Amino acid sequence: MGHETPRLRWRKSSRPLERPRGLLRLAQYAALAALAVFCLFPVAWVGVSSLKDLSETFRIPPVWLPQRPTLQNFVAVLTLRSFGRYFLNSFIVSGATTFLSIVLASLAGYGFSRFRFRGARVLMVAVLAAQMFPGLVLIIPVFTLASRVHLLNTYVVLILAYTSFSLPFCVWMMKGFFDGIPQELDEAAVIDGCTRMGVFARVVLPLSLPGLVATAIFSFLVAWNEFLFGVVLATRENMYVVTVGIASTIGEFQVRWNELMASAVLATVPTLVLYSLLERHLVRGLSAGAVKG
């Protein structure tokens, strides 16, 4: 009996500790829920407003849920405006930017990962430092250069400009992922008769599929969401990209907020579909390659 008393005392003294832990976990969940509501409320408001008519959009106090949901805003955006053309321009520019970024970043990342040469680390830092310049600093030189070579209002200038934004970080991502692939595989392929480019194309690239997907998604989103260079380098309406097309719905004397919200919803659909289809590869690629030196 003398040995059981301390055990009972220990059990009684440990019970009060469980309640603070439970309260702390509950407070954490409540804080996360509040943060989620704070972040998702603007997205939900955009979706709700896209289903309202013009009278409900400007009603005070605001209407939280549309009383008469309508798809007329989407119909107006797709028919009365050239939104189909804007989407086509964005797909062409974003797709070409993604392809060009993947090709160049893969070659550069493989070179930095497999070859040792003097100044490699300095050059890698310089590549990443190019990403730190804000767009406002570069917009005037890029516009001047594009104007002198007569590339304004063309796909070429948009693709080259967007690629220059995403390429530095893409090189770092691919280099980090290639570092995670053992070099013994390269040596074994060389022994079997592969050239250096054969090793790159047949061995390294198939193994780096998650990294390629993560890099492609990053490059596509950068190009799809870019606005500043799109509005400066493409001034003709037939060359507007989606972001510039959304901004064009804002009139001089009136803003049709319901159509503006419908345009924003349409613009987010491709990115959501792309992310949902490639989410698994994206997470693997970011966790396996982007955090490695």
Instruction: Specify the pTM.
Output: 0.78
* pLDDT beyond 50 at 96: yes
Mean pLDDT score, 257-278: 84
Range ranked top by mean pLDDT from 16-20, 32-36, 137-141: 32-36
Residue 103 confidence (pLDDT): 92
CATH of domain 72-290: 1.10.3720.10
**By the 8 A CB rule, do 261 and 56 touch?**
no
What contacts 24+ positions apart, CB below 8 Å, involve 235-241?
235/152, 235/153, 236/153, 237/82, 238/82, 238/85, 239/89, 239/153, 239/154, 239/155, 240/82, 240/85, 240/86, 240/89, 241/86, 241/89, 241/90, 241/93, 241/158
Q: Give the residue, 164 or 277, on which the prediction is more confident.
A: 164
Q: Give the residue, 282 or 152, on which the prediction is more confident.
A: 152
Helical pair 209-225 and 257-285, crossing angle rounded to 10 deg: 160
Residue 162 confidence (pLDDT): 92
Residue 286 confidence (pLDDT): 57
Residue 290 confidence (pLDDT): 43
* pLDDT beyond 80 at 141: yes
- The region, left, alpha or beta by phi > 0 then psi within -120 to 50, assigned to residue 52 is beta
**Range 121-138 burial, b when 16+ CB lie within 10 A, else e:** eeebeebeeeeeeeeeeb
Identify the band that residue 192 occupies on the pLDDT scale cut at 50, 70 and 90. confident
Helical pair 257-285 and 72-80, crossing angle rounded to 10 deg: 90
Mean pLDDT score, 111-117: 84
**Range with lowest mean pLDDT among 32-41, 95-104, 202-211:** 202-211
Q: What are the sequence ranges of the domains in the chain?
A: 4-49, 72-290
Question: What's the chain's average pLDDT?
Answer: 82
Cβ within 8 Å of residue 19, ≥6 positions away: none
Mean pLDDT score, 271-292: 65
- pLDDT tens digit sequence for 176-191: 888 888 888 888 888 8
Percent of the chain beyond pLDDT 90?
17
Residue 252 confidence (pLDDT): 60
Residue 92 confidence (pLDDT): 94
